[in-house]
Amino acid sequence: MTHRTIRNSSSQRVFAISGLSGSGKTTLLERVIPELMRRGVRVAAVKSSNEDVLAQAGTDTRRLWEAGASGTALVGPSVTTMRWRQRLPLREIVERLDADIVIIEGMKREPIPRLWCIRGEAVPPPPAVKRIVAIVCDEDVAEDERLEGWRVVSPDNTELVANLILEHAEELR
């Protein structure tokens, strides 16, 4: 199977899954990506991190990076991993992905529709986080009065989460 490296971004849509560290974002995506794919949707994921993640120490790729290469690519039999010495704009990343929907994990400040994940205490999202479609949390947290006025969805309701993503994902502006 061959994949295009650049897509026409006008046909791609984006959606975010956000929340504090440990709130269940990755676990939710592990459940919903197969559901979207079952429906025939090509899904790509972008993970935002507060840390720069480098190739493992001692590998040739890491040695080339440490030698000062402006970027590195590790091309395996079926997987390619690329790194640049800059944070790329989200639009540039999305355009390189061959997908109908690109799900962004994190990136709370990006103005795209999102689900907000909560685990444990029912702490509402920070006011600076915009475009929240619904809160994803367990039933015991959903009943907390601090979440009154928010649409609340169970992380176990994979079909509803997939529906929300399909309904609210939009082209990157």
- Which of 49, 48, 45 lies closest to 15, judged by CA? 45
pTM, rounded to two decimals: 0.86
* pLDDT tens digits for range 83-142: 899 989 999 999 999 999 999 999 998 999 999 999 988 888 999 999 999 999 998 888
* pLDDT tens digits for range 49-58: 888 888 889 9
The one-letter amino acid code at 36 reads L
What homologous superfamily does CATH list for 9-51+89-168? P-loop containing nucleotide triphosphate hydrolases (3.40.50.300)
What are 65-70's contacts with CB under 8 Å, separation 24+? none
> What residue segments make up the domains of the chain, in order of their start?
9-51+89-168
Inter-axis angle of helices 25-38 and 158-168, nearest 10: 80
Look up residue 170 and give its DSSP letter. Answer: B
